[in-house]
Structure 1
């Protein structure tokens, strides 16, 4: 198993990285899976870079350096990629039975949320309900990931929480399912937490320019 996939698999089993201040430099599981992942006093940089080069930007004991602008900008230049935003990484487990929300699965959609999911995930399934869209697919290192969006006219009614909770019924019972939320998106973060997801760390994913 790839080192990055092993990190996520262990977390899904409740085995969190040690709080040792370590920064691990590992090979990405694919070119699409270039990421800087941060956990409590532990970091994983999955990128095709020389370790000695990376560590020149990462002073020992500086827990802000792996997600700081100097290192992220240097990675952008080194890899010819663009750093995405810093996202919360939240985890829940799959639930049995069907969702309590009426969803229609569609085979195509030009919704921006769907197009983003298709860039970052495999085996993407798209579901629509009145006022919202939900996607479930295989993302970083093959893990299950979900994303959702609620139309402005339907916000403030709990639909976001119901959408993201529905995602837990759309993966195998007991499987880990992840959701990424930009810290400033407080409404989405509240919905994801209310749906039973728990914060695990943060991630900066690198994309083609």
Structure 2
């Protein structure tokens, strides 16, 4: 692959066009000072960092494990965090869905408060954050990694098991600007969240680990 930007790689993935599944690693510049990390597709990883690409490749080559999984394994992520002075967030399933026309499938009210834990987290990692509430749930929409639209949902315990998570994830698709897609990260162990987003039409495209500024 030639020199590319992360935003371009993600846009292609949203359209179903992925880097070659040849076991290689692409290193691209960070989209901003806030964002460094790894996106792993099928047999191809993209590391976005302002560190020397030679350091990335040498560190990966030193891992005696499976080279296909090395970019998301603890040895590399630990070295990456130590090198950059960052903290590794969760390794998430990365999924994407296209915009849908029309109104969302449930009544939403746009909120102005910023105290909800989901909102507090979103403001750390996203710009242009908007918050919507429904009876029993919260939808957060904003621009995250490489400017992509991202959403997260939260369902109150008393409202779980009724399809509200799926409805909120679907609603995010109706709130996008024309011609855009929305991305979502789910912890692989959170099976209800994974099922809700896939039921809402989000397509799994890979896995992602973000390194955020500062140590715990």
**TM-score range relative to shorter protein:** over 0.9
Distance 2:128 2:148 in 1: 11
Structure 2: give runs of 5+ residues left out of the alignment: none
Q: Is 2:79 aligned against 1:74?
A: yes
The two structures have a TM-score, normalised by structure 2, of 0.93
Aligned to 2:38: 36
Q: What is the alpha-carbon root mean square deviation over aligned residues?
A: 1.5
Structure 1: give runs of 5+ residues left out of the alignment: none
- Cα deviations by residue, 1:132-157 (Å, 9 ceiling, x for unpaired): 10011111100111100101111011
Aligned to 1:192: 197
Distance 1:90 1:32 in 2: 21
Distance 1:35 1:147 in 2: 19
Aligned to 2:13: 11
Distance 1:41 1:201 in 2: 10
Distance 1:123 1:64 in 2: 34
Distance 1:162 1:17 in 2: 32
Aligned to 1:87: 92
SS class of match (2:51): coil
Aligned to 1:126: 131
Distance 2:199 2:5 in 1: 31
Q: Which runs of 4+ in 1 moved over 6 A?
A: none
188, 208, 211: which one pairs with 1:206? 211
Contact 1:95 1:172 in 2 (8 A): no
Aligned to 2:173: 168
Q: Is 2:147 aligned against 1:142?
A: yes
How many pairs does the alignment contain? Answer: 209
Q: Report the Cα offset of residue 32 of structure 1.
A: 1.3
SS class of match (1:134): strand
Q: Is 2:104 aligned against 1:102?
A: no
Please identify, of 46-55 and 196-205, the stretch whose mean Cα deviation from structure 2 is larger.
46-55
Aligned to 2:57: 55
The two structures have a TM-score, normalised by structure 1, of 0.96
Distance 2:192 2:15 in 1: 28
Aligned to 2:160: 155
